[in-house]
């Protein structure tokens, strides 16, 4: 990888050929951008303003540098943006405000998938180029998760759904609002996940000769008594040990059940604000 010797942290660094990393200053300097041949820019700042929209191709991700920010959901799109730009002969700059956390995380995610690196290997490689590179703890967790789910950011992945619930809990506690309600989409549009299993036995999960008890799927769903719309299918159930996660100690989780209103019925319960618990 290119060396950063003699490079200031206020300049952009080339992490791998045609992929650059920086803070906001170089991204606002037409001179620096042109000098490095930049054609595409991923801007990860809270504002939607881009300084040179008619000159460069922008992808803007308006998020904050906070542990509970869901950045992993942008990994597939940013990977595609970078990959296609480089394949077409372009050069990509990824920047946030300081060029230390958000932008570094996006670059690391790209390196992990394109170079088959672990999260730690990717961060170390970037730090050799840019010494101040240091994703926050939440972003590091997301990089580890990215590897665990084999770079497939999909709500059908149990680990990813657990992460989304943890994110929503932190957002609810810290900001009293939830940014992303992807888990509340209509269950009829999200079909069976192969990962969903039942840990404990029961009438709906009695073992068969060919399937172990721990791998029995929940085949029934809860439906509205009045309209018969499916409310909870087995793909929307994630078994867990109550109190087994740090967020379980919060008041919202005291009963071991986390509920969120699905899009299909949300209009009928406007006064409810997730997350909330069931008695």
**Residue 236, pLDDT score:** 57
Cα–Cα distance between 264 and 187 in angstroms, integer?
9
Q: Is 191:233 a contact under the CB 8 Å cutoff? A: no
pLDDT at 72 over 80: yes
Q: How far, CA to CA in Å, does 93 sit from each of 16, 17, 52, 164, 240?
A: 11, 11, 13, 28, 41
pLDDT in tens, 118-133: 999 999 999 999 999 9
151: left (phi over 0), alpha (psi -120 to 50) or beta: left
pLDDT interval class at 174 (50, 70, 90): low
- Bigger pLDDT: 162 vs 263: 162
- The residue from 96, 108, 167, 224 that is catalytic is 96
Architecture, CATH, for domain 13-148: Alpha-Beta Complex (3.90)
Q: What is the pTM of this model?
A: 0.70
Domain ranges of the chain: 13-148, 158-266
Question: Could you confirm whether 167 is annotated as catalytic?
Answer: no
Q: Which residues of 109-142 are buried (b: 16+ CB within 10 A; e: fewer)?
A: bbbbbbeebebeebbebbeebbeebbbbebbbbb
What is the average pLDDT value for the chain, to the nearest integer?
77
pLDDT in tens, 176-204: 555 555 554 444 554 434 333 333 333 34
């Amino acid at each position: 990888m290119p060396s950063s010797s003699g490079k200031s942290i206020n300049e952009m660094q080339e992490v791998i050929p045609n992929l650059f990393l920086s803070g906001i200053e170089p991204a606002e300097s037409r001179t620096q951008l042109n000098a490095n041949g930049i054609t595409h820019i991923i801007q990860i700042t809270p504002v939607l303003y881009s300084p040179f929209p008619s000159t460069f191709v922008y992808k803007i991700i308006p998020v904050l540098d906070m542990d509970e920010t869901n950045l992993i959901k942008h990994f597939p799109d940013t990977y595609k943006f970078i990959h296609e730009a480089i394949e077409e002969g372009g050069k990509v700059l990824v920047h946030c405000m300081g060029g230390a956390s958000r932008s570094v995380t996006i670059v690391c995610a790209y390196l992990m998938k394109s170079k088959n690196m672990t999260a730690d290997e990717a961060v170390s490689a970037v730090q050799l180029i840019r010494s101040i590179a240091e994703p926050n703890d939440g972003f590091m967790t997301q990089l580890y998760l990215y590897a665990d789910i084999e770079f497939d950011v999909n709500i059908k992945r149990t680990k990813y759904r657990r992460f989304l619930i943890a994110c929503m809990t932190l957002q609810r506690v810290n900001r009293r609002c939830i940014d992303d309600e992807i888990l509340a989409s209509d269950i009829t549009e999200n079909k069976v996940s192969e990962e969903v299993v039942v840990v404990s036995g029961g009438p709906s999960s009695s073992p068969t000769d060919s399937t172990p008890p721990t791998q029995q799927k929940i085949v029934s769903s809860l439906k509205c008594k009045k309209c018969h719309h499916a409310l909870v299918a087995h793909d929307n159930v994630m078994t867990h040990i109550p109190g087994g996660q740090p967020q379980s100690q919060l008041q919202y989780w005291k009963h071991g059940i986390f509920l969120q209103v699905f899009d299909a019925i949300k209009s009928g319960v406007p006064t409810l604000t997730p997350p909330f618990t069931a008695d």
